[in-house]
Amino acid sequence: MDKLRLFLATMVLALLAVAAAYALDALPKAPPVPRDNPMTPAKVELGKKLYFDPRLSSTGTVSCNTCHDVRKAGDDGLPVSVGVEGKKGTRSAPTVWNAAFLSVQFWDGRSPNLEDQAKGPIINPVEMGMPDHAAMLRKVTEIPAYVEEFRQVFGGDDPVTVDNVVRATAAYERTPLTPNSPFDRFKAGDKAALSAQAKRGMKLVETVGCITCHSGPVFAGPALPEGQGFYMKFPTMAGTPYDTTYRLSADPGRYEVTKNEDDRSMWRVAQWRNIARTAPYFHNGSVPALDEAVRVMARTQLGRDLKPDEVADIVAFLEALTGEFPVQTVPQLPGMEENDTTK
């Protein structure tokens, strides 16, 4: 255990120097946009309709927004999401808010961008349950208003393709951003934007070592090129009471993608922005409260048992990362006179 503690201390000190250049960044005004999928208002609006449309699922009851609700905190507030026919997944739904700043998608980083990510849930048997992408395309092409909208956005004789569906969906997914958090206002020069407690918490996340991983514009690691993920082992200290209680090691993480033993229990670092609104926490949604999540991380990642006042200060800082949520309205879906806003 002493050797492990020494290793962790050395790792923290070494990485702090690197992370410091990226840590505590204000949210940029706009996310990176790939050259092969430029954003236009028409494409974003089409993507929004696809995002909200439950007809893209096998049962007609599940949309992207079902599990990643943009009218809330961008997730569903459940430990694990519920898909078609009441089927449950094994991981918590990450928020879509500010996901455009992540260099890889999903907890295990299996998708390099939002376009690739958008392909997965449609044919996942537990999520939207379509047998294949062709079945989804048939549903879309059966709706004349959709076909015309695709033609206006993408042109061509056959505009309804899988690639165009995910391009439009990803274009919309780059729009849910939460600017102007108390922390962002503080970074812009408003020194009164953070409470004294939040300022103490900000100092603590630096000195304790949290920013070794949680740096960059969304506190999910430094800004990296698309497809290059920032991963950390979680839990670093396996076998602790927290690990046992919350089953943190039960899921092999990125190992399921690479089959490389070095990737067992490796995860894309989760973002901190709006974390006060995205409970429950961690990949399996096993921790219901933010203060407990702070204690778990300090112990399992850094070997620290924080004092109650330290936990409270860090929570205050994390709460100051909650930004402004622009109002998201449910679009009028093509071919539907009325929309079910519960989808």
Hey, is 198 helix, strand or coil? helix
Q: If you count them, how many residues does the chain have?
A: 343
Token pair 């994390």: residue: 318
Hey, is 301 helix, strand or coil? helix
- Active-site residue 45, yes or no? no
Alpha carbon 123 to its chain centroid, in Å, reads 20
- Checking phi first, is residue 24 left (phi over 0); if not, alpha (psi -120 to 50) or beta? left
- Count of helix runs (H) and strand runs (E) in the chain: 13, 2
Q: What is the DSSP letter of 176?
A: -
CA distances from 198 to 32, 155, 192, 207, 321 (A): 29, 51, 11, 14, 10
Catalytic residue among 127, 149, 310, 319: 127
Distance separating alpha carbons of residues 129 and 15, to the nearest angstrom: 42
Euclidean distance between the first and the last CA atom of the chain, given in angstroms as a whole number: 49
Enumerate the active-site residues.
Answer: 127
